[in-house]
Amino acid sequence: MNLFQAINNSLDIALTQDPTAVIFGEDVAFGGVFRCTVGLQEKHGKSRVFNTPLCEQGIAGFGIGAATAGATAIAEIQFADYILPAFDQICNEAAKYRYRSGGIYDCGSLTIRAPCSAVGHGAVYHSQSPEAFFAHCPGLKVVVPRGPIKAKGLLLSCIRDKNPCLFFEPKILYRSAVEQVPVKEYTMPLSKADILVEGDDITLVGWGTQVHVLREVCQLAKDQLNVSCELIDLVTILPWDKETIAQSVKKTGRLLIAHEAPLTSGFGAEIAASIQHECFLNLEAPIERVTGFDTPFPHMFEPFYMPDKWRCFEAVKKLVNY
Task: Count, in order, helices (H) and strands (E) of the chain.
Answer: 13, 12
Predicted local confidence at residue 163, as pLDDT: 98
Whether 299 sits among the annotated catalytic residues: the reply is: no
Alpha-carbon span 146 to 255, nearest angstrom: 20
| First-to-last C-alpha distance (Å) of the chain | 43
Residue 81 DSSP class: G
Predicted pLDDT at 9: 98
pLDDT at residue 255 in the model: 98
Q: Decide if 179 is catalytic.
A: no
For residues 282 and 265, give the distance between their C-alpha atoms in angstroms, rounded to a whole number.
24
Please state the pTM of the whole predicted model: 0.98
Q: Which domains does the chain have, with CATH numbers?
A: 3-176 (3.40.50.970), 194-321 (3.40.50.920)
Q: Which of 26, 56, 169, 260 is catalytic?
A: 56
Per-residue pLDDT at 6: 98
CB distance 159 to 73 below 8 Å: no
DSSP 115-150: EES--SS-GGGSS---HHHHHTSTT-EEE--SSHHH
Strand partners, 312: none
Are 26 and 76 contacting, i.e. CB atoms less than 8 angstroms apart?
yes
Strand 202-206's sheet: what is its strand order? Answer: 194-197, 229-233, 202-206, 255-262, 288-292
pLDDT tens track, the chain, 322 positions? 999 999 999 999 999 999 999 999 999 999 999 999 999 999 999 999 999 999 999 999 999 999 999 999 999 999 999 999 999 999 999 999 999 999 999 999 999 999 999 999 999 999 999 999 999 999 999 999 999 999 999 999 999 999 999 999 999 999 999 999 999 999 999 999 999 999 999 999 999 999 999 999 999 999 999 999 999 999 999 999 999 999 999 999 999 999 999 999 999 999 999 999 999 999 999 999 999 999 999 999 999 999 999 999 999 999 999 9
Write out the E strands in the chain.
21-25, 49-51, 72-76, 110-116, 141-143, 165-170, 194-197, 202-206, 229-233, 236-238, 255-262, 288-292
Residue 96: its pLDDT value, please? Answer: 98
For residues 114 and 167, give the distance between their C-alpha atoms in angstroms, rounded to a whole number: 6
Peptide bond into 239 cis (omega under 30): yes
Query: Are β-strands 229-233 and 141-143 bridged in parallel, bridged antiparallel, or unpaired?
Result: unpaired
At residue 173, the pLDDT reads 98
The CA distances from residue 182 to 92, 151, 152, 161, 191, in Å, are: 37, 12, 9, 21, 22
Q: Give strand pairing partners of 143.
A: 167, 236
Catalytic residue among 44, 126, 212, 259: 126
Q: Return the pLDDT at 83.
A: 98
